[in-house]
Chains A and B, each alone.
Chain A
Amino acid sequence: MAHGARRRWIDRLAALSAGTLAAFMPVLSAGADEAPLEYAVKATYLYKFAPFVTWPPSIAQKATFDLCLSGSDDVTKLAPEAAEGQAVNGKPLTIRRLAAGESADTCQILYVAPSPTAGLLLDTVRNKPVLTITEAAATNHGIIGFTVIQHHVRFDIDNALAKNAGLSISSKLLSLANAVTPVLGEVR
């Protein structure tokens, strides 16, 4: 084996040359991301729920379909990429990041990342036709809440909240849900 000190210099040179070669590699590959699959799945769900939800007729007249993101987590980071160029019921999907304090009234779908103020924003749209989505474990949860069960990303649906918001959720989506909070008075 080579003497230690000399070997060390050879090592450094080799590492540097490997690094230099690597520096030219971005042109060869698009921006890969290492965010775990769980969040990519959640981000994809956001717009995939839409075909199973019926909004009031007033919304049907809007030219675009607005998916709003509030707060910041791995889902809000991935959602723009996931939903880019998609259409919902023939309308182009617009992705909007809500600034702090910005109204969510004109959103059709609203994803609220966990944060201390998440509950406040959700309360402002409780009786408006906005499909709210949060983590199921959130204290103040949305109509749809994500939950990871046995390595699968599933969701709970609060149908009572949906009814208050004037949204109708298809039985197909309800059957896929992990748990459904029934509309008051409904027998399940």
Chain B
Amino acid sequence: MFRFFIVAFMLISALSSARAQTIENLRGMSIDQLANLDVSSVTKTAEALSDAPAAIYVITHDQIMRSGAQTLPDILRLAPNLQVYQVSASSFIVTARGFSGNINDQAFANKLLVLIDGRSVYTPLYSGVYWDMQDVLPADIERIEVISGPGATLWGANAVNGVINIITRKAKDTQGGLIDISAGNLEQSVGLRYGGTLSDDLAYRFYVRDYFGDDTETASGANAHDHWSRPQGGVRFDWTPSGADSVTLEGDDFAGSEAQPGAPYEDIAGRNLTAHWTHDFADGSSLQFLTYYDREERATEDNGGNFWVDTYDFEAQHNFTPNDWNTINWGGGFRVSDYNIHGNAGLQFVPTSRGLDLSDIFAQDSIAIDPSLTAIFGFKIEDDPFSGVTPLPSGRLSWKVGGQALVWAAVSRAVRSPTPFDEDVVEKAGSSVLLTGNPYFVDETLTAYEIGTRIEPAERLSFSISAYYNDYDDLRSIELTPVTFFPLTWGNKLQGDTYGFESWGNYQLYEWWRLSASFTELREHFDFQPGSTGVAVGVSQIGDDPQKTATFRSAMDLTPDVNFDWDLRYVSKLPNPVVPAYVEMNASVGWNVSKTLRLSLSGFNLLHARHQEFPASEADAVPRSFSVGLQWRF
């Protein structure tokens, strides 16, 4: 029904609106006006971010388009500071600095904050991300900022091991029509987007997309029966009523259906509406408001259990510069998540519904000690649903060495606060209870020490190295009931530390040929606190993480209109359960046939008929795949 509304709306607006006449508008401008025009929507923000004292990698629009990747997890493989594991056609694990989880031990990757245009998309039910429920038309993504390491003070709740900030293009940058078709042996996608203006200061776009993922294969090569489909549509309006104000209103609606081996289909659905308002004052200060509503629903057919979550969020932030050496950001937010879970025979929640309240206030001061040295102190107080008030301080230092290098260091505290899955879950086999949540479950905590540098020794060469030492405490553990073993319950009796580094670099060999490489290393040491009864389960419940990953990427413009890109990625052995190390390759050729037509051919995971990214006991294999793409602008 939603789709037919979209199609009708599309036709009406196509008839009534003129396209943005960017070039026409520029013609009418004086040279002074050209010099004063803000082109920020397109400026490579990567450059501005090079001052950020954190391990940040920016996936650009261009990289996404050239890769041919169709889903967010596959796009996130472009970031060397993330680890992405495909578990089935629709299910992915995305994590930073370890903690991939252990599906059989009911531990799911849950230490990332993921934002789409400011809307938090990790589920409040267990703090992980349902990646099958997050989609953005790849052509509409402006950039993705990936920060590995804690960002709780700056970014918000759950930013323990990293932050993924997905930013879509403004409506005025997606004017005109686009038909984007990708057809392959494993994935098919049809996208349609149209953007226009209603007046000089009000631009819009809307899109519909249908995505189909075909069955993958099990480790032995059998059909994994996990095909899925996911139609989605949405709109975005950008309004600049004055030079000082900008307002964005955007929303999406989707529904999908996923085959499950040996079980009925699982249906997913959701919708969201986000509003932003930024006001710039004449003195350079600014005020930002963000509010959103988000609904997520999952249901296994034939009464196999279902849930819904409604989240309402409001945030405000004020930035100002009281004097020439201080810049202060402060603000706060409030979030309510109402949910209802109708369990099945094996998985229930008691109580079945709650309203979770999360609120925070924060302040951060950037102090310019001298033009090359900046200290940043941040403090956030968060009031979490189950565990109450917790402080989240951080201190950062950034030092510009000449014009070519930035050295930074940071110490921060972050927490993964308790969720209904930690507190309320009841898992059963028949009438016997296997596992119960723990009403006394507390925050999992992290104190992180980081140091890094970004260097541009020459115009064509840049690289980044970040090293970290993470000290974790009160991590979730499986605890046994004395004598009877069952029911199991959650405890906070795991602790440990991880350390490692992430490095990546780019070398622009010629204007038309760019080489990139990355290398990461991770070491994990975990043990049980005294008194834990679940020692026998072992520390593999935390995750199955590779010690090393590496990528090498070549991006060539063979002619101004033909590009040829390929990359290799290496993931070392997963230790427990063992998954062999693998090397895989993607390659893509794109041809801009004309100003309005682009054709492409992409191959993914070309080196093996299929490879295993996560243990076969928990995950399907990832088959080799190909696709042809067509993008037509009108």
Contact = CB atoms under 8 A, between A and B. Distances in A.
Interface of A: 1-5, 7-8, 11-12, 14-19, 21-23, 25-26, 28-34, 36-38, 40-41, 43-45, 48-49, 52, 72-73, 77-78, 81-82, 86, 114-116, 137, 139, 148, 151-154, 173, 176
Interface of B: 3-4, 6-7, 10-11, 14-15, 18-20, 22-23, 26-27, 29, 31-32, 34-43, 173-179, 181, 190, 192, 194-196, 208, 210, 212, 229, 231, 255, 257-259, 265, 267, 269, 299, 301, 459, 510-512, 560, 595-596, 633-634
In the complex, the 8 A-B pairs of residues with the closest C-beta atoms, listed nearest first: A32-B176, A36-B42, A4-B265, A151-B40, A4-B257, A72-B560, A15-B210, A26-B634
A116 B509 CA distance: 10
Contacts, number: 167
9 contacts: A22-B177, A25-B14, A25-B177, A28-B14, A29-B18, A49-B31, A114-B511, A115-B511, A115-B512
Contacts of B26: 40-41, 44, 82
Nearest to B233: A18
B38 A44 contact: no
Contacts of A44: 23, 26-27, 29, 34
Given A8-B229, A31-B633, A34-B633, A1 B34 contact: no
B35 A154 contact: yes
Given A22-B177, A22-B179, A32-B20, A148 B511 contact: no
Given A38-B43, A151-B38, 16 more contacts: A4-B265, A11-B212, A14-B3, A15-B208, A19-B192, A22-B177, A23-B179, A26-B177, A28-B15, A32-B20, A33-B595, A37-B39, A38-B42, A115-B511, A148-B43, A176-B31
A1 B267 contact: yes
B319 to A, nearest CB: 16
Nearest to A72: B560
B631 to A, nearest CB: 10
B511 A21 contact: no
Contact of B35 (A15, A23, A40, A153): A153
Contact of A152 (B37, B181, B231, B459): B37
A3 B34 contact: no
A152 B11 contact: no
A176 B20 CA distance: 28
Contacts of A116: 510-511
A78 B23 contact: yes
B301 A1 contact: yes
Given A72-B560, A176-B31, A31 B176 contact: yes
A132 B140 CA distance: 35
A77 B560 CA distance: 10
A30 B11 CA distance: 15
Given A32-B176, A36-B173, A176-B31, A14 B210 contact: yes
Contact of A33 (B32, B176, B229, B512): B176
Contacts of B41: 36-37
A31 B634 contact: yes
A17 B595 CA distance: 25
A47 B181 CA distance: 38
Contacts of A48: 31, 34
A82 B26 CA distance: 8
B34 A32 contact: no
B31 A34 contact: no
A21 to B, nearest CB: 6
Contacts of A30: 19
Given A14-B3, A37-B41, A114-B511, A152 B301 contact: no
Nearest to B596: A31
A54 B258 CA distance: 69
User: Which of A14, A18, A31, A78 is most buried by chain B, counting CB atoms within 10 A of its CB?
Assistant: A18
A29 B459 contact: no
Given A22-B179, A44-B34, A78-B23, A37 B42 contact: yes
B154 to A, nearest CB: 22
B515 to A, nearest CB: 16
B177 A4 contact: no
A21 B14 CA distance: 11
Nearest to B189: A15
A157 to B, nearest CB: 12
A126 B192 CA distance: 49
Given A4-B257, A19-B190, A48-B34, A151 B634 contact: no
Contacts of A28: 14-15
B34 A18 contact: no
Given A22-B179, A28-B14, A32-B19, A148 B39 contact: yes
Contacts of A152: 35-39
A14 B4 contact: yes
B23 A40 contact: yes
B37 A21 contact: no
A28 B7 CA distance: 15
B181 to A, nearest CB: 8
A151 B175 contact: no
Nearest to B32: A176
B177 A29 contact: yes
A38 B43 CA distance: 7
A51 to B, nearest CB: 8
A4 B301 contact: yes
A16 B38 CA distance: 39
A82 B23 CA distance: 6
A15 B41 CA distance: 30
